[in-house]
């Protein structure tokens, strides 16, 4: 029963989820976030990127990018907490 209730809730919310995904903002945002991670982490793509790391590895996040990602995650957490 503990597994059945979330599955039924998911099936019940599929039409709303489809309407939500039909808006171009959300799929485009997910695509851009995925593209950033791919370009920054996949070795053939990240070799030509500039990096401000001390070790010179262009395939890892530098400190500025880590700070930005942590700030954005804190904002998302605060918005989600406030919305519920």
Confidence of residue 84 (pLDDT cuts 50, 70, 90): low
pLDDT score, position 11: 81
Q: Where are the domains of the chain?
A: 25-81
Could you read off the pLDDT of 13-71 as tens digits, one per residue? Answer: 888 778 877 888 888 888 998 998 888 888 888 888 877 777 878 888 888 888 998 99
Quick one: DSSP state of residue 3? T
Please report the DSSP string for 9-60 in residue order: HHHHTHHHHHHHHHSSHHHHHHHHHHHHHHHHHSHHHHTTS----SS--TTS
pTM tops 0.75: no
pLDDT score, position 71: 94
pLDDT score, position 51: 77
């Amino acid at each position: 029963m503990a597994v059945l209730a979330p599955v039924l809730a998911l099936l019940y919310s599929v039409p709303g989820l489809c309407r939500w995904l039909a808006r171009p903002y959300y799929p485009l945002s997910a695509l851009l976030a995925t593209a950033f991670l791919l370009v920054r982490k996949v070795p053939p793509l990240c070799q030509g990127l500039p990096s401000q790391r001390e070790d010179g590895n262009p395939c890892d996040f530098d400190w500025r990018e880590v700070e930005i990602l942590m700030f954005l995650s804190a904002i998302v957490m605060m918005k989600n907490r406030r919305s519920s």
